Chains A and B, each alone.
Chain A
Amino acid sequence: MNLYYKLHTYKLIKVSDKIHWITRAHYPDPLVDYSNTDFILDFNDAVSVLQQWRNPNLGRSSREGTVISLASNAKSAYRLIQEQLLTTILPEEKEKQLIEKLKVYRFLLDQTLPQALELVNLDKLITPEDIKQFINRQLELMRQEYGRELKFAENMLNELEAISDIEVKDDYGKSRRISRNDVLDVLGSVLGNILLRQVSLWQVDDYISRPRGRMNLKKTYRAAIMREGKVPPKQIRNEDIKVMDKDRVSLIYFIVDLSQSMNKTVFKDGLTRLDGSLLTSLGLYYYFKLVNRRKRREFDSFNMHVIPVDKNPYVIANDEKFEAFLMEAEGKGKTRLVHATYSAIRHVQENYQNVKYDVQLVYLTDGRPNVPFDGTIYGNSMDFGYEKYLSESDSKIPKEAKTCMVQLNKTFNYLKRVKDRNWKISYFLMASDKFMRSSLYRDTKKMLSGITDPVLIDPTEIDNLGRRILQETIVNEN
């Protein structure tokens, strides 16, 4: 033992000047990202991503960048796998895997990526569907080349799906590829939240006294204590019961104006009214989606629909179609706002007959409806106040627009009165602050009086608004 100890000590002394034990403290990891700051995706980035999606020219550079970065990775991977095969002892399974992967990388570098770049240059590889088709074609070519399916090929080629993502760089040089969902989440949580706070479609975080739904025990006890002034309370009455929030299903209809006039650029950074209204609907749409997700209920609390104000307004009721609509929507034709309203009403009546739903009609428009509805208008003859107002005012809005606004006013008043469903209206106007001084704004406000207030939306300012709200929240918490 003693001898061993001596021997050990001797060796220790002898080698200690040669062998150095290295920890991360001695030797900083050369591959640590020095600029280790989080990527900040702000609202403006999300907006620019949306613009890039909608405009192939704007997104092209990002798609090209993706192809190049895939090539760059493939090149390094190809080299390193070769080295690994030549120098590192590998179990058989791993070795086989690497050989297969090497083949895929070879094919990627020789065939797939050059072709992808050419197609991207020609704007022929834009949508996820284009890319899926391209990947399948490449898999087939690979199969022909090697006479069999290569393992991992599909997984590895699926990385090409990133081509439809958009690369954004924040102001500090950090770049990140953004998938559609990331952007939509940002828009939903920032924009949607702000919009809802502005207009109070309903008070999102409020506790509503109602003896239905999931009970909030703490709040309920507190209410009972407050009522009785005793701890513990003797009884809990119906009025004490607090639930987290509504548990009923709300139907939301976004009525998005796609008329010619929406093409006008009214915001800075070249944003059109249409961009503004798409952004707003997007924000709200994804806000509700987020809420649905957070609630973890068996059913979604909010059923969302989009109705483009088109020649023949139709109802979009699923995410995929909604996103496709966002990408393809263009402003043309006239503003059939009343038609769209009746499409929504019909859709509710036909599809949600039995249950007493809340129905929220959300208008996103420039406020210039111009095609009167020739079907039956709900409402009764008592609703002539607005008509009278228009005929007496010196408003310069065209006749058709006046008729439409009267029709809308009647319909809204009717919806407000009927008891079968709980109808609510919100009316977003895409314009900058100047618009408030116009007569159209006054007329619109009058049209909506007793129903809701019109909300002016300038998407380029929403970012600032968001920041302010955030700051105020922080200050209040302190």
Chain B
Amino acid sequence: MKIDEKFLNAYENANLEVENLIGRRPDDYKILMFIDPDLYKSVLLQTEATGSPKAVISSNELYVLQEMKNLDYVPVGKDLFFGSRSPRIFLPANISKIKSSKVLEAKIFQTLVKAVLVEETKSSFPDKLMDLYTKDTVIYNLFTNNVYEFVLERGASWVWQYFQDFTATLRLLSLYNLDDFYVPPNSIRSASIFYNYLLETKKIIKERSKAVLNAPLYDLILNGFGEYALREYLKKYDSSVMEKIKPELKSNLGQPLGAIGNVFLGEQGENFEEIFENTLRIKNDQELTSIWNREKTKSKMKELREQLMNESLIWHASNDSYWSDLWPIRGSSFDKIDQYVGKIQRRGYKSFKGLQEENALVKSHGRVRLKDREVAVLSIQEDTVGQEQLVILRNHLEAKKDTFSTPLPGLPDTIVFRKFSGMHIASYLGVVDDKETKNYQKSPYDLPMIVRAVQVTSKKDAYGNQDLDEGNKIENVNYEDLKSLTEPQYRAIRYLIKQRDAK
């Protein structure tokens, strides 16, 4: 591949600039130049969604992201920087098409400067991220090899999707510590490739979850430093040059994470060197933000918000008539980070674990016990796993056939609550016990399913005349185990339980 001279020059200059500013170049890093910009888009979306470029994605999320790509909603302006040890810098090869070499240089400079930070920081963040990356790579390889073997052995086309969904679901539930109910005993390992894969993956995913939960909160520091260093670097240009290149650095400057981090970092010393050396010592965002009390932080944030409002006009083309629509988007994005700062200042969260415990995106609300079965009630405010994916946790694979045999101890039927803005959905997913079809499944997906979804609402007549829908009389329903649910949620559960037997 012919290396673009323009990119090469910019790259070399950026390296020199880093060296001038910090006194050293980053050493152990990788730049991945994606020749196909479309592939870059995929990697960007996938990494944003899962937090790691190698994580296996569920088919549910895959469809959504593919659709987003088709609709051309990918924020390609974003620079993808994976701040592990040996940081990975992802770039689309068409980046060298940027007209101004100054802009190109500035962009590369920012990623390189971040690379130096993660190479040398005392924080364990890059290690944890590296851990995450390694685990995901191992899982990915396990996944592909096993699927390959499986397909080779059984010639079953559903295996890809099945393993993929399984892995993604396991990852999500493991993160929220809900994964202990569906893993078979170790003795079953030798029974089939599938069990072996399941147990192996489960073990690695558990370690991965640990790494994620223990990873220090570091986004403010990393992005703040990127912003700080870039602003420092840009000082060499006079205002006429700045006027030209600043609009081109839309994703590199003025982003809420960077801007807020930058404000805190500015307090770390008198000059760049001092600030850099001190930043290396900061282990997490909590440490960074603890320099001010809430009151001072609030006033600083207010000030910064106003400053950004004036500054960010240049990053938009339709800044006249649409500014009243654009600023609230920036504003709300800023407010989110502001809230995050408030949270870590008040509660002293140092790692992702604290944040997650306060506001778990996946929660179990217990089980409804019926005479012949149980229904697990969960709320999932997460896009990774759809209701569809939960089916694979269902104890549905008792059947044995030549193409597969995977009798998992699993979840019972599930009711899942999800929120999408104005929507609050309760959905039911169950497997109908159909003795006739049980022995003739073509794949784990070949199941008589019942899927329902209703809007959770306090309206009394929301689900129509319930008497009409009632099929078999439901007896002995025990709702006592359920916890932390609202009255409309209870009503939705009761309705869905009845619906299961409605004919």
Contacts and interface: CB of A to CB of B under 8 A. Distances in A.
Partners in one complex: yes
A9 to B, nearest CB: 11
B370 interface: no
A110 B383 CA distance: 18
Most buried by B among A19, A30, A74, A80: A30
A223 B387 CA distance: 64
A19 B33 contact: yes
A303 B315 CA distance: 62
A424 B370 CA distance: 60
B455 A118 contact: yes
Contact of B423 (A8, A73, A109, A171): A109
Contacts of B450: 61
Q: How large is the interface on A (under 10, 10 to 19, 20 to 34, 35 or more residues)?
A: 35 or more
Contacts of A20: 30-33
A465 B21 CA distance: 78
B443 A121 contact: no
B326 interface: yes
A64 interface: yes
A87 B349 CA distance: 28
B65 A88 contact: no
B462 A121 contact: yes
B475 interface: no
A80 B73 contact: yes
A456 to B, nearest CB: 25
B65 A31 contact: yes
B463 A122 contact: yes
A92 B317 contact: yes
Interface residues of B, number: 92
B16 interface: no
A34 B160 contact: yes
Interface in B443-461: 443-446, 449-455, 457, 459
Nearest to A72: B64
A78 to B, nearest CB: 8
Contacts of B53: 30
Contacts of B160: 34-36
B68 A171 contact: no
Interface string A78-99: 1011111111111110011001
B427 A68 contact: yes
Contacts of B1: 21
A15 B3 CA distance: 10
Given A11-B12, A113-B422, A172-B445, A33 B452 contact: no
A35 B161 contact: yes
A193 B330 CA distance: 60
B463 A84 contact: no
A3 interface: no
A22 interface: yes
Contacts of A89: 77, 247-248, 250, 315
Given A15-B3, A15-B11, A85 B36 contact: no
Contact of B35 (A11, A21, A57, A118): A21
Contacts of B459: 118
A172 B77 contact: no
Given A34-B161, A65-B451, A85 B329 contact: yes
Given A122-B464, A171-B443, A117 B425 contact: yes
Interface of A: 8, 11-12, 15, 18-24, 27, 29-37, 57, 60-61, 64-65, 67-68, 71-78, 80-92, 95-96, 99, 102-103, 106, 109-111, 113-114, 117-118, 121-123, 169-175
Given A21-B93, A173-B445, 16 more contacts: A12-B3, A30-B46, A30-B53, A34-B164, A35-B162, A57-B502, A64-B453, A73-B64, A75-B383, A76-B73, A85-B326, A114-B422, A117-B423, A118-B462, A172-B442, A173-B158
